[in-house]
Amino acid sequence: MDIQTIYLYGLIIGGIITLLYMLFGDVFEVIGGIGDVAPGSLLNPTVILSFISVLSGAGYILELRGTLNSLTVFLLATLIALVIVGIIHFFILVPLARSEQNTARSITDYIGQEGEVITTIPAHGIGEVLIKSALGSTGNIAKCASNAEITQGTFISVIEIDQDGILIVEPILKKADI
């Protein structure tokens, strides 16, 4: 078997495994921990499999031309693979890994937060409050801890969360209100 055939098999097998990993990588990570490394790491299977595929593809093309000896072809193919996979890693994979941060908040994170009533909370009833954070604004169902009415536009503080996930709030008294 000549080196050109080895490069071709490497390209085909590396390409197929890369495609399968891209499609089913999350399943592999859940089942057996395969590929369970930091997403921005150089040991990420996507980086390794892409390197094998690009190395094999570049080696096959350079061997096909037939003007260079095999060692030169291998070194040149390795250099090409390092450059291309480096570009893919640092400009695509690392930014994607950083963007996958979870923006979900637990309902208990609202305790102690301040917000504004956007739908009046009637006495012994429920209304809606808007709570702003660095992740954006969320509207939540709320009721007054003292069972008093809190009118729209009043600033509130979340005291606790009841068993149904409704925020228990109290109005924030300003110095002018005291």
How confident is the model over 37-88, as pLDDT tens digits? 555 566 778 888 899 999 999 999 999 988 889 999 999 999 999 999 999 8
* CB-CB neighbours of 177 under 10 Å: 8
Cα distance between residue 147 and residue 133, in whole Å: 26
Q: Which residue has the tokens 């600033």?
A: 155
CA distance 154 to 160: 18
* CATH 2.40.50.140 domain position(s) in the chain: 107-177
pLDDT in tens, 101-160: 555 667 888 899 999 999 999 999 999 999 987 777 889 999 999 999 999 999 999 999
- Burial of 57-94, coded b for 16+ CB within 10 Å and e otherwise, reads bbbbebbeeeeeeeeebbeebeebbeebbeebbeeebe
CA dist 25 and 30 (Å) reads: 9
Confidence of residue 92 (pLDDT cuts 50, 70, 90): confident
Is the pLDDT assigned to residue 28 strictly greater than 70?
A: no
Contacts of 144 (CB under 8 A, 6+ apart): 121, 123, 150, 168, 169, 170, 171
Give residue 99's pLDDT.
67
Please give the model's pTM, rounded to 2 decimal places.
0.54
Q: Are 169 and 120 in contact (CB under 8 A)?
A: no
The whole-number pLDDT of residue 52 equals: 94
Contacts for 118-126 with beta carbons within 8 Å, 24 or more apart? 118/152, 119/152, 120/149, 120/150, 120/151, 120/152, 121/149, 121/150, 121/169, 122/149, 123/147, 123/148, 123/149, 126/166
Arithmetic mean of pLDDT, 95-104: 66
Domain 107-177: give its CATH architecture: Beta Barrel (2.40)
Listed residue (37, 46, 56, 44) closest to 17, CA to CA: 46
